[in-house]
Amino acid sequence: MYAIVGLGNPGKEYENTKHNLGFITVDLLAERHGIKVVKLKHKALTGDGVIRGEKVKLVKPQTYMNLSGECVSPLTSYFGIGRDELIVIYDDVDIPMGSVRVRPGGSSGTHNGMKSVIYHLGNDDFPRVRIGIGADRGQIPLYGWVTSGFSSEHLDAIREAVGRAADAVEEIVSNGVIAAMNKYNG
């Protein structure tokens, strides 16, 4: 079984912000595959289903971004999900707005949610899908940038990126992370 974890913040005020692109991507996957993400378990909203013939658990942590590891670690332990069966989706200021990058593992970069996940898991050896939100924020502090919505000029690029991120997750589930990297990193 795969655990597909979209990082984000719970609550209406964060619903359509840059920091919630992980949640938004999980919502798209849920819609595509008829999965209801409504069960509260291990500090997360979860939903069980099938993507491309594989059992999956879609996960939206309810711990707030910086504490995401407090949800992911117990959940993966409880369900016996290995590192290669965990896929984390999140926003990334370190790559250009609207870009998608798939990685088999590695550091958290500047992302505090990923720092928490890596810390609580005790390793960084699991696939992730990063959605670029860019770093050109002018005078806006990082927190203000990631918790703000999208300008009209970025909406189309973000919608397309979320679709590509969902496609990349489906590719990881069916053909592995290397195949997804070859297809979606470019």
Q: Which residues are catalytic?
A: 19
d(CA 133, CA 25): 14
> Using CA atoms, how far apart are residues 109 and 179, in angstroms rounded to an integer?
23
Query: Which string of b and e fits 84-121 if b means at least 16 CB within 10 Å?
Result: ebbbbbbbbbebebbbbbbbbeeebeebbbbbbbbebb
Closest CA to 128 of 44, 21, 10, 46: 21
